[in-house]
């Protein structure tokens, strides 16, 4: 149960968030068809920053040595990021709009499903044998067109205290397209710069519960850490190098146990 201050935060943030969702829905349905790619990306970045602000999230980008801001690179490339929250997408979008890979169920979410579909999200039907191969072909095409594609290779969210195994299935597309793979570390801190679980969206938690926790929380500081491109001759090596680089940057241990939900979603022949 939220404190009195938490209820005040909710009362102030919820109406603004509702307005932004309505405005975003109108924009992607009515305005986007008449806009060019660059203009759409500017709108998406601005809207994502406003949404984070409405949720009480302060965004900070900290490129590592040898890396650059996500907004700088304009060639086709892939981002590999750890996954903690539904907010993760908006952290990246606020800096550098990308085509995210997401589970197909999200397309059926009210409002948010329409929003993410209209900004170019690439959906995958989990558990279908040929879904990864079809998706990889679409990713290769996007990379050849000079687009930015973002993947959460853990296949699920964690509580932010560790890194789950990174699966390399979709990295195959970057290898085929000869596109750079950029590891990106994401984490959430409180106003005293200590780790917070306020943004965590994990396991069987309902989306409404997670949204309530975010909207009633004191200010959340969200950090985005771009790292130098990962190198390797195979998708597994690139995925593992990315994981280790993110773990070292964020000071997180590597948990090699594959969550049950991810094991159920995978099929023989899909690769790792």
Cα separation, 13 vs 25, whole angstroms: 18
Q: Which of 160, 153, 158, 152 is nearest to 223 (CA)?
A: 160
Q: Give pLDDT, residue 270.
A: 38
pLDDT, averaged across the chain: 92
Cα separation, 53 vs 130, whole angstroms: 39
Q: Assess contact for 111 and 66: CB atoms under 8 A.
A: no
Q: What are the tens digits of pLDDT across the range 222-244?
A: 999 999 999 999 999 999 999 99
> E strands within the chain?
57-61, 77-81, 99-103, 122-124, 148-151, 181-189, 220-226
Q: What are the tens digits of pLDDT across the range 166-200?
A: 999 999 999 999 999 999 999 999 999 999 999 99
pLDDT(272) > 50 = no
Q: Give pLDDT, residue 129.
A: 67
pLDDT(87) > 80 = yes
Structure tokens at 227: 């790292």
Cα separation, 115 vs 102, whole angstroms: 13
Q: Give pLDDT, residue 132.
A: 86
239-252 average pLDDT score? 98
Classify residue 128 by its DSSP letter.
-
Q: What are the tens digits of pLDDT across the range 118-134?
A: 999 999 887 676 888 89
Cα separation, 1 vs 24, whole angstroms: 30
> What is the band of 268 on the pLDDT scale with cuts at 50, 70, 90?
very low
| pLDDT above 70: percentage of residues in the chain | 93
Q: How many residues does this entry show for the chain?
A: 272
> What is the band of 271 on the pLDDT scale with cuts at 50, 70, 90?
very low
| pTM (predicted TM-score) | 0.91
Q: What are the tens digits of pLDDT across the range 29-65?
A: 999 999 999 999 999 999 999 999 999 999 999 999 9
> What is the band of 112 on the pLDDT scale with cuts at 50, 70, 90?
confident
17-36 average pLDDT score? 96
Q: How many CA atoms lie within 13 A of 25 on its CB side?
A: 12
95-111 average pLDDT score? 90
């Amino acid at each position: 149960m939220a404190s009195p201050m938490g209820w005040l935060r909710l009362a102030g943030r919820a109406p603004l968030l509702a307005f932004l969702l309505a405005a975003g829905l109108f924009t992607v349905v009515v305005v986007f068809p008449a806009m060019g790619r660059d203009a759409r990306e500017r709108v998406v970045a601005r809207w994502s920053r406003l949404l984070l602000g409405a949720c009480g999230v302060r965004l900070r980008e900290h490129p590592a040595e040898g890396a650059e801001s996500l907004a700088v690179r304009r060639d086709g490339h892939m981002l590999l990021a750890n996954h903690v929250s539904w907010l993760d997408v908006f952290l990246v979008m606020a800096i550098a709009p990308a085509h995210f890979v997401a589970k197909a169920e999200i397309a059926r979410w009210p409002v948010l499903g329409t929003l993410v579909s209209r900004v170019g999200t690439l959906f995958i039907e989990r558990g279908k044998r040929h879904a990864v191969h079809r998706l990889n072909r679409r990713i290769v095409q996007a990379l050849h067109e000079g687009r930015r594609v973002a993947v959460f290779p853990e296949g699920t969210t964690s509580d932010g205290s560790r890194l789950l195994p990174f699966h390399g299935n979709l990295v195959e597309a970057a290898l085929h397209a000869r596109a750079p793979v950029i590891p990106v570390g994401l984490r959430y801190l409180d106003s005293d710069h200590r780790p917070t679980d306020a943004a965590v969206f994990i396991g069987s938690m309902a989306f409404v519960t997670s949204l309530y926790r975010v909207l009633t929380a004191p200010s959340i500081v969200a950090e985005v850490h771009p790292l130098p491109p990962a190198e390797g001759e195979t998708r597994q090596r690139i995925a593992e190098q990315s994981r280790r680089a993110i773990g070292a940057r964020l000071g997180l241990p590597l948990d090699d146990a594959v969550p049950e939900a991810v094991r159920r979603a995978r099929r023989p022949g899909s690769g790792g």
